[in-house]
Amino acid sequence: MPRTAGMAENKNEVKKIAVIGAGASGMIAACYAAGKDREVTLFEKQKKPGRKILVTGNGRCNISNRNVSHEFYHGENPRFTNNIFSRFGLEETEDFFRKSGIPFIEEKEGKLFPASLQASSVVKMLLHEMESRGVELTLHRRIDHIVPKKNMFMLQTAGKEHHYFDSVILAAGSCAYPPVGASRIGYELAASLGHRIIEPWPVILPLNVPLKNLHRLQGIKWDVHLQVFLDDKKIDETKGEILFTGYGISGPAALKISRSVNGAVRKERLPEISIDFFPGFTEKELSAYLDSIWHDSNRELAFSLLGVLKERMPEVICEITQIDPRQGTGRLSKKDRNKLIAALKGLRVLPGDPRDFKEAVAASGGVSVDEIDPATMESKLVPGLFITGELLDIDGVSGGFNLQFAWSTGAIAGLAQ
């Protein structure tokens, strides 16, 4: 009876490789896995590939970061990334994309973007690379079961189709941001094969702040210095833009501190978020700055601040600090003046319960990396199974770090075929 699938028995036999998930790590894995005597089939449960790539970096695709190192990653074993990046790091990633027609440009904080500043160009390039290398892309095919059978794997789709392969690259992604198709299927498949799953929780997402007065600032953007304090000890900080929302704060700076804030809340500890509205000033400098604009002592306090703050901000900050916004600046007591300056330089607010996965850029948790060989991304439990990208218990901070981990792990798995 002729052999239809299984491990390639001699150098003339074609090896059949399945990749599950057409996200960042899955598509680059397929590119590197394809080649002479290797047939690659990429299964994607959605009708379109690369949907999460399309929304990264606000549609511009923050493709990587110049400062990639283990210091920017979290998980039970973040140093696992050192082994990854020593094999396929930023240099190799830039080389792959440049040769494919996507050079990088660098913005502040080392953030790297495609020169086109369009995520769609990255997805189109990856699709072209896969096609040119002979990868078969099978869309709208969800894999429900992976069953090892001697020297092969049987993959069963949601439609009860059976497919047989010599090896499998599981790149199904995390459960973060379901609007683009994220789900728990990858964890379920890995767990069914014996892998330990660290329960995922959402990271890099907007923050709930129950203080209702703050919600009146909805729609306002402002550059701030954010600090997170736990028992009066600073545990995190960042500078950048925030967006006030009807539930709290969002924007790049808020996303950066969300992991430390929500991590503390998950452990039933209540951190404080400090918002510095004038990060370029010391308190003394801010006091002198306000003196320079308070010539008319009869002018209402809130109105007098409209030249340095956006509308609604003066009233809200005054109300939160329990200062009468309608009093003349000349009637402002020394105590209230100090309270106002302290609030402008570090308004303290308490976070609420973490928001859920539907708004999260990434998920903390996933398949334990202690069960993965970083040289190949092969499972230490199931020979022939490779696991990559967001499915693993590694999550990076905001700024291109998660995509770099996806490119690197996907490429390593593809090269190992």
Predicted confidence pLDDT, tens digits, the chain (417 residues)? 222 333 444 445 899 999 999 999 999 999 999 999 999 999 999 999 999 999 999 899 999 999 999 999 999 999 999 999 999 999 999 999 999 999 999 999 999 999 999 999 999 999 999 999 999 999 999 999 999 998 899 999 999 999 999 999 999 999 999 999 999 999 999 999 999 999 999 999 999 999 999 999 999 999 999 999 999 999 999 999 999 999 999 999 999 999 999 999 999 999 999 999 999 999 999 999 999 999 888 999 999 999 999 999 999 999 999 999 999 999 999 999 999 999 999 999 999 999 999 999 999 999 999 999 999 999 999 999 999 999 999 999 999 999 999 999 999 999 999
Number of CB atoms found within 10 A of residue 232's CB:
6
Half-sphere exposure (Cβ direction) of 128: Cα atoms closer than 13 Å: 11
Task: For residue 113, give the nearest of 127, 94, 100 by alpha carbon.
Answer: 94
With the CA atoms of 346, 348, 349 and 351 taken in that order, what torsion angle do they form, in degrees rounded to the nearest 10? 90
Question: So what's the pLDDT on residue 106?
Answer: 97
- Are 404 and 40 within 8 A, CB to CB? no
Element (H, E) at 283: helix 283-293
Helix (H, G, I), strand (E, B) or coil at 10: coil
DSSP state of 116: T
Question: So what's the pLDDT on residue 98?
Answer: 97
Helix (H, G, I), strand (E, B) or coil at 403: helix
Query: Which two structure tokens, joined as six digits, stand for 120?
Result: 């769609």
Cα distance between residue 30 and residue 19, in whole Å: 7
Instruction: Please state which architecture CATH assigns to domain 15-201+363-415.
Output: 3-Layer(bba) Sandwich (3.50)
Give buried/exposed letters for 302-318 (b at 16+ CB in 10 A, else e): bebbeeebeebbbbbbb
- Are 134 and 34 within 8 A, CB to CB? yes
- Are 12 and 391 within 8 A, CB to CB? no
Which residue type occupies 391? L
Question: So what's the pLDDT on residue 12?
Answer: 59
Cα distance between residue 57 and residue 255, in whole Å: 12
The domain spans of the chain are 15-201+363-415, 207-349
Cα distance between residue 21 and residue 415, in whole Å: 17
Query: Which two structure tokens, joined as six digits, stand for 121?
Result: 């160009």
Give buried/exposed letters for 367-385 (b at 16+ CB in 10 A, else e): bbbebbebeebbbeebebb
Cα distance between residue 146 and residue 144, in whole Å: 7
| CB contact set of 243 (below 8 Å; sequence gap of 6+) | 219, 220, 221, 249, 250, 251, 254
Query: Which two structure tokens, joined as six digits, stand for 54?
Result: 């399309």
Which residue type occupies 237? E
| pTM for this entry | 0.91
